[in-house]
Amino acid sequence: MAAGGAPMTRPTIPAADALIGVKRPVLSHGFVVLVDYMGGDAAIVQAARVSYGAGTKTVRDDRGLVRYLMRHRHTTPFEMVELKFLVRLPIYVARQWVRHRTANINEYSQRYSIVPDEFDLPALEDIRQQSARNRQGRSDPLPAGTAEKFRSDLERLSGEAYGAYTAALEAGVARETARLVLPLAYYTEWYWKTDLHNLFHFLSLRLDPHAQEEIRRYAAELAGIARAVAPVATEAFEEFQLQGVSLSRREQRAIRALLGGATPEAACATAGLPLTREDGKPMSTGEGVEFLEKLDRLRAAE
């Protein structure tokens, strides 16, 4: 029973209800589906005020409270909102995704069920050179012939692997063993349930430009669903965390030097943020380079 003896009802959000069961396509054969949710912006406000019902505060007051909580990293109220997804994704994306351990997960069993003949086939523009700066990323486009050959090889080898998988099953090899021949491009599927605080943490890492492009596409779909479930909280997350810029102690020193009229290079030198190596060559990574990138972001901000 709610306060005053009135029956409790489950709060619903029309925009979120409209997304339940809707497949949002990602990559060749993947998708994200909102299965269920619990709570929204009102649940965050309720938890923060430790009260029941709508209360006496205005919508404007509630929005201000949510933004205050996000600004000051009061994260517990955001844990009151839960989202449950059904996700179909390539195994190579799943191996990155599962590193986020703050969720409940139940994956399609390739020991129990036969793997469908579906593998990820990237578009030619997504097949690019190894980045010289980011050792786990890609950078510039490849010559068309190189990208086309890789794509052709992937399609051929995946087909051959699935043929070997099917032949093994027909010969009586156990499914849990036969699956070993399948490459990382094949798809898996899972239920993934998390609270809004931990979803925001996932998004802060997987929407970052340094994250792999494929998982960023999944993260973008999750963000769109979060926006329907808790629009005020998601707006605050995007403003204060996703688009915010943090400054270390040295970077704050550099900012003070900039405000005093120093050039960015001189400000870095004053703050101890190196831009050159010992041999005098410019650095491509490091704190100084990252600080200049933050300045570029600030200049480009609308």
- Note the pLDDT tens digit of each residue in 55-110: 546 666 889 999 999 999 999 999 999 999 999 999 999 999 999 989 999 999 99
Torsion sign (Cα): 205, 209, 215, 216: positive
What is the three-class DSSP state of 115? coil
Tokens representing 81 are 């909102």
CA 90 to each of CA 131, 233, 281: distance values in angstroms, whole numbers, following the listed order: 22, 30, 41
Question: What pLDDT, on a 0 to 100 scale, did the predictor assign at position 301?
Answer: 73
138-141 vs 128-130, strand pairing mode: antiparallel
> Confidence class of residue 130 from pLDDT cuts 50, 70 and 90?
confident
**Confidence class for position 183, pLDDT limits 50, 70, 90:** very high
Please state the rounded mean pLDDT for residues 36-62.
79
Mean pLDDT of 175-201: 97
**What mean pLDDT comes out for the span 8-34?**
95
3-state secondary structure 58-89: CHHHHHHHHHHHHHCCCCHHHHHCEEEEEEEE
Taking only the tens place, the pLDDT of each residue in 205-240 is 999 988 999 999 999 999 999 999 999 999 999 999
Report the alpha-carbon distance of residue 299 to residue 185 in Å, rounded.
Answer: 39
Domain regions of the chain by residue span: 10-112+185-242, 126-181, 249-300
Average pLDDT, the chain: 92
- With pLDDT > 90 as the criterion, what percentage of the chain qualifies? 78
Taking the C-alpha atoms of residue 218 and residue 4, their distance in angstroms, rounded to an integer, is 44
pLDDT band at 248 (very low <50, low <70, confident <90, very high): very high
For domain 10-112+185-242, the CATH architecture is: 2-Layer Sandwich (3.30)
Tell me, what's the pLDDT at 3? 54
The contacts of residue 151 (CB under 8 Å, 6+ apart) are 121, 122, 124, 127
pLDDT at residue number 52: 46
At 180, give phi and psi (nearest 5°). Answer: -65, -20
DSSP character at residue 7: P
Catalytic residues: 206
Residue 212 CA to residue 138 CA, distance in Å, equals 8
* Low-confidence winner among 55-69, 151-165, 167-181 (lowest mean pLDDT): 55-69
- For the ranges 31-35, 82-86, 162-166, 281-285, the lowest mean pLDDT is seen at 281-285
pLDDT at 95: 95
The alpha-helical segments, DSSP class H, found in 179-301 are 196-206, 213-229, 231-237, 249-259, 264-271, 287-300
Stretch 33-59: mean pLDDT: 81
